[in-house]
Structure 1
Amino acid sequence: MTSAVLSIGFVMLHTSPLDVPGTKDAGGMNVVVRAQAEALAQAGHRVRIFTRRSDEETPARVELMPNLTVELLDAGPARLLAKGEHERVMEDFSRLLAAALAADTVDVLHAEHWFSGIAALPVAHELGIPLAQSYHSIAAPPESPLGDGERPESPGRLAGEARLAHEADLIIAVSEAERETVLARLKGDPDRVRVVPLGVDTALFRPCDTAECDEQRDWLRGGGRPEVILVGRLHPLKGFDLAIEAIALLPQAERPTLRIVGASPPDGDEYARALHESVVAHGMLTTTAFDGALRRRELAERIRSAALMLVPSHTETFGLVALEAAASGVPVIARDAGGLREAVVAGETGELVAGDDPAVWADTISRMLADTDGLKRMGSAARRHALQRSWQASADRLVEVYREVASRA
């Protein structure tokens, strides 16, 4: 593979880059793959994203931009599946992926999540295509605490992730924290794991300009409450229940308003109901908004209007929303865990909080909101931190890794 231009195939079996993050099973992974794919396409590489058809309306091939297409494979029923159901369609997806690539091959395959990797692995071997694997999250045994990672949503996940750590040509991690998990939990080979840092769209996610902030400043000067924002799927792993408990501990006169952006995964309505019930039980109904999932532009507007973002996730391979808040000039209070330690610079762009004690979280929220000058300093530092990250730099690093994996294969 000597050509300067690469042909790259991303494999996303269980979720589509066409889905709005925060809906279905779309989340940070969707944002990452689409942003990296767009940056690769803009650099002149030919990029195809293979995903499963989950409705009958979307065409079989969607061109997102020059050099970037999404190809929908008819594996399983053309409807939304619960995450755990996808293991049943992996074999069909693999067969259809092999046919698509036999007709029009690529220089490298990049599988996203274990479903995609196990489906792509026999295809890569059969057609002689090097395979890079990204996990985005790594399962922990069912009896493990939430901080150890997601539960295996289907029977083959634990074994599938371990198999990929040894049989994929290279593993791509999004943070040093994820790299360490691959080595410790999956017994991966350190010589076959590479970290590709994530980027952020600093044009879309930007601080409030003067005109936008006028109304917000007037509101606060008139005694209005500052706003705290939570962003992500309504799933227990995200820890939104802890954020509600923490804010409920603050005296009513000091409570900020709370905005929750995100929707339930296909099989997760029970947790969403529990969050709504908790808001009512704590008398926070008039100061809490559930926005559901938002388009990226709307999300950016909501984030830059907030005084503070909370990321109480029990575990994150990185925590992209924390970097999006930083780009927006909004300080973050995040859990002291996993990749969040890399997304937030403690004491400079936000604070890291250990554990599940709502009182500790409440004290941190109260202290930071009371220090308006400190919030401004942190917001400026956060923006500077985010400006050092770009999706083009992330894509450039991917190209280096792709060339390495191709030369190894």
Structure 2
Amino acid sequence: MTPRHVIVMVTTSYPRFPGDSVGTFVEPIAKGIAARGHTVHLVAPWHPLVRRPREEDGVSYHFYRYAPLPSLNVFGYAAAMRADVSLRGAAIAVAPLALAQGWRTARAIARRQGATMMHGHWVVPGGVTAALAAPRLPLVVSLHGSDVYVAETFPPARLAARMALRRAGAVTACSRDLADRAVALGADASRVMVVPYGVDVERFRPDPLSKTGERARLGVPADVPLIFAAGRLVRKKGFEYLIDAMRHLTGEHRAILALGGEGDLEAELRERAARLPASVSAVRFLGRLDQNAVGAYLASADVVVVPSVRDDAGNVDGLPNVVMETLATGTALVTTRAGGIGAVVKDGETAL
């Protein structure tokens, strides 16, 4: 019989409310582990948008406060990096407070609950925090993308990541690209495994009814192709290249691009879209979308585009959720091979 564990899961990002688009892949991991009979205590920074009960589906939540001022709640939840290229000054300033309080909370929960295992998401800082909070407990570190980039780019983060990776009994990566880079940072190759994200097939599935509903809300005629893309508006998502490509869809090939998400590049991308000639395809900015809305748009689109790139700073997605979600929905997918994408799609069969 498989032993039941008491797991303290340390993360800096998690859906703050049901349907939130931030940290979506961590929730099914936490709840999936709980569903297998293990006890899960999730430790994460507090955020003004957190709307979670103390316990839900077998996961107990422990959100810790660290910021002396509301404006300094910028640690985690995809807020610490500017366009996913550089760390924000405010995030650097508040990091010592957040890291110390995260360590203190994880250590206290591990001791109080009799933890048997620590699980850190993002090697920096989740893996490091988990390793230091309970040095004698087995450690699992899960890599998601930007954490490896930070470790490769900033020497202090590299040293901390190397410590956590070498201490870990298991390291999971959502793509082979991340796994190889983790080994280069010091992880034991025999302990690294690639585990792609799963998909909620109830939320992301073919839905003919969405075709008319979402198109009507956008005012897209039935005979005009609808292209959909979604993600944080940051460099590695490559949305500027997608917008520029729209100028080639003219005349009978005219289409509408619906772009969901928010981020540091929104003003720049809106300006880029505004410079498109009136005679070519249009771009509609949808803003932040919850997961139900993303599922509906994926099902209603004629084509989904995931134009991920390795940006000029060297950052790249591990494996964008929207790739797996589009495949589950059955909508035509156009994408790149950046990061882990090339390992899950096959040109001419499951994507172009």
User: Which category of TM-score, normalised to the shorter sequence, fits these structures?
Assistant: 0.7 to 0.9
**Alignment map for 1:260-271 (pairs within 5 Å):** 260-264=259-263, 268=264, 271=265
Aligned to 1:362: none
Aligned to 2:8: 9
Q: CA deviation at 1:37?
A: 1.6
Give 1:341's aligned amino acid.
Answer: G
Aligned to 1:118: 128
Aligned to 1:63: 55
Alignment partners' CA distance in 2, 1:119 and 1:214: 47
Aligned to 2:207: 208
Answer whether contact 2:220 2:256 (CA < 8 A) is retained: no
Specify the SS of the correspondent of 1:31: coil
Answer whether contact 1:10 1:50 (CA < 8 A) is retained: yes
Aligned to 1:386: none
| CA deviations over 1:5-53 (Å, ceiling 9, x no partner) | 222221113x233257776xx2xxx221101222222232221211011
Aligned to 1:96: 105
Aligned to 1:256: 255
Answer whether contact 1:230 1:261 (CA < 8 A) is retained: yes
Residue of 278, 288, 293 corresponding to 2:288: 293
Give 1:182's aligned amino acid.
Answer: A
Aligned to 1:398: none
Give 1:166's aligned amino acid.
Answer: R
Q: CA deviation at 1:282?
A: 0.8
Residue of 140, 145, 166 corresponding to 1:137: 145
| CA deviations over 1:269-320 (Å, ceiling 9, x no partner) | xx11110000100136982211112121111001100111111111321222
Which of 1 and 2 has higher RCO (CA within 8 Å, sep 6+)? 1
Normalising by structure 2, we get a TM-score of 0.82
Specify the SS of the correspondent of 1:76: coil
| CA deviations over 1:348-386 (Å, ceiling 9, x no partner) | 1111xxxxxxxxxxxxxxxxxxxxxxxxxxxxxxxxxxx
Q: CA RMSD in A?
A: 3.1
Alignment partners' CA distance in 1, 2:33 and 2:258: 34
- In the alignment, structure 1 residue 349 sits paired with structure 2 residue 350: yes
Alignment partners' CA distance in 2, 1:252 and 1:156: 54
Alignment partners' CA distance in 1, 2:277 and 2:221: 23
Alignment partners' CA distance in 2, 1:122 and 1:256: 52
Residue of 303, 324, 341 corresponding to 2:298: 303
Give 1:308's aligned amino acid.
Answer: V
Q: CA deviation at 1:139?
A: 5.7
Specify the SS of the correspondent of 1:156: helix
Query: How has the CA–CA distance of structure 1 residues 150 and 87 changed in structure 2, closer, same or farther, with 3 Å as cutoff?
Result: same
Alignment partners' CA distance in 2, 1:55 and 1:205: 28
Alignment partners' CA distance in 2, 1:305 and 1:108: 42
Alignment partners' CA distance in 2, 1:350 and 1:87: 40
| CA deviations over 1:200-238 (Å, ceiling 9, x no partner) | 1112111123x4446789999976311111111011111
Structure 1 stretch displaced more, 106-115 or 192-201: 192-201
Which 5+ residue runs of structure 1 have no aligned equivalent?
141-148, 352-409
**Structure with the higher helix share, 1 or 2:** 1
Aligned to 2:95: 87
Query: How has the CA–CA distance of structure 1 residues 150 and 250 changed in structure 2, closer, same or farther, with 3 Å as cutoff?
Result: farther
Normalising by structure 1, we get a TM-score of 0.71
Query: How has the CA–CA distance of structure 1 residues 44 and 139 changed in structure 2, closer, same or farther, with 3 Å as cutoff?
Result: closer
Which 5+ residue runs of structure 2 have no aligned equivalent?
81-86, 310-315
Answer whether contact 1:139 1:158 (CA < 8 A) is retained: no
**Alignment map for 1:308-319 (pairs within 5 Å):** 308-314=303-309, 315-319=316-320
Specify the SS of the correspondent of 1:338: coil
Structure 1 stretch displaced more, 168-177 or 275-284: 168-177
Q: CA deviation at 1:70?
A: 1.4
Aligned to 1:44: 37
- In the alignment, structure 1 residue 156 sits paired with structure 2 residue 147: no
Query: How has the CA–CA distance of structure 1 residues 202 and 56 changed in structure 2, closer, same or farther, with 3 Å as cutoff?
Result: closer
Answer whether contact 1:234 1:272 (CA < 8 A) is retained: yes
Q: CA deviation at 1:199?
A: 1.1
Alignment partners' CA distance in 1, 2:304 and 2:236: 17
Specify the SS of the correspondent of 2:134: helix
| Count of residues paired in the alignment | 325
Structure 1 stretch displaced more, 100-109 or 155-164: 155-164
